[in-house]
Amino acid sequence: MANIETKFLGLNLSSPIIVGSSGLTGKTGSIRKLEESGAGAVVLKSLFEEQILAGIAHETRKGGVVYGQADIDDYIAFYERKHSINDYMDLIRDAKKAVSIPVIASINAASDKEWQAICVDLDKAGADALQLNLFVSPFDVSVAGEGIEETYVSIVRKVKTLTSLPLSVKIGPYFTNIGNLVSRLSEAGAEAVVLFNRYASPDMDVQKMSIKSAPARSDETEYRSSLRWTALLSPLVKTDFAGATGIYDAITAVKFLLAGAKVVEVVSTVYKNGEKRIREMNEGISMWMDEKSFISINDFLGKLSADNGADTAGLERVQYMKKFGDI
Checking if the pLDDT of 53 tops 90, the result is no
Checking if the pLDDT of 64 tops 50, the result is no
Name the packing angle between helices 178-188 and 224-233 (round to 10°). Answer: 60
Check residue 307 and give its pLDDT: 81
Q: CATH number of the domain that 82 lies in?
A: 3.20.20.70
Q: The domain containing residue 129 runs over which residues?
A: 6-324
Say whether 57 sits in a helix, a strand or coil. Answer: helix
In angstroms, the CA 85 to CA 132 distance is: 16
State pLDDT tens for residues 309-318.
656 766 776 5
Mean of pLDDT values over 165-186: 97
DSSP H or E stretch at residue 107: strand 103-109
Is residue 101 in some structural domain? yes
- Count of the separate structural domains present in the chain: 1
Check residue 97 and give its pLDDT: 98
Checking if the pLDDT of 79 tops 80, the result is no
Mean of pLDDT values over 200-206: 87
Check residue 220 and give its pLDDT: 86
Check residue 324 and give its pLDDT: 53
Q: In 138-242, which residue ranges form alpha helices assigned H by DSSP?
A: 145-162, 178-188, 224-233
Residue type, 178: I
State pLDDT tens for residues 127-164.
999 999 999 888 889 989 999 999 999 999 999 999 99
- Write down the mean pLDDT value for the chain: 88
Is residue 182 in some structural domain? yes
17-19 and 263-266 strand pairing: parallel
Check residue 82 and give its pLDDT: 46
Q: How many CB atoms lie within 10 A of CB 66?
A: 10
Is residue 1 in some structural domain? no
Lowest mean pLDDT among 33-47, 84-98, 124-138, 310-324: 310-324
State pLDDT tens for residues 237-260.
999 999 999 999 999 999 999 999
DSSP H or E stretch at residue 12: strand 11-13
Is residue 290 in some structural domain? yes
